[in-house]
Structure 1
């Protein structure tokens, strides 16, 4: 991954965290990694554990952020969520939800953030 793409991704994740916390969610973990992958944001929305995939785009040349979460990607995130829950037994009995946070970055101005609860 190029430094520019990595910087855009990190910016998108910061925007997503700000948006989610402003919406009342509590961030529990960020960029959680295990040998099979990474979950961008894990949050709590009341009694629900929310696993968030953040997709940041500068344009739609490679598709929209929503199109980037394929069934294969969604399946991987679900497996990663199961691994996170196994590693954090205090959260196992809670409801679970999988959200998408789509961040669109223009040439100027603030990024546009769209939160799609239960996206996959």
Structure 2
């Protein structure tokens, strides 16, 4: 596995730990469908949260959140609706929210973590 992929996996694991510590329940990870992949699907209270995780070694090529542009947000919404269609019992009568977690650092366990709770 490439070092970039290992860092990404470690970042997703750290993000999941962070979410659990904040009271989220992880419902799914790395869910795939023909439209793409959702990093983490979680629940907090009555909100279904689709969480995009971006991990970078540094900000040399920009902040991790800069990779989540309007096109990516539209794609995440499509994926969120695809997930709810595939899991109707888990998604029933829940508000859906897009969230993002960005990690910056060579080691995901000690990287700086930022959590955006609502991507509009």
How far 1:108 moved relative to its partner?
9.4
Q: How does 1:1-120 map to 2 (within 5 A)?
A: 3-90=2-89, 91-106=91-106, 110-120=110-120
TM-score, with structure 1 as normaliser:
0.93
Extract unaligned runs of 5+ from structure 1: none
RMSD: 1.6
Q: 1:7 to 1:63 in 2, by over 3 A?
A: same
Q: Distance in 2 between matches of 1:24 and 1:5?
A: 29
Shift of 1:61: 1.9
Give the number of aligned pairs. Answer: 119
User: SS of 2:60's equivalent?
Assistant: coil
Give the TM-score normalised by structure 2: 0.93
> How far did residue 66 of structure 1 move?
1.1
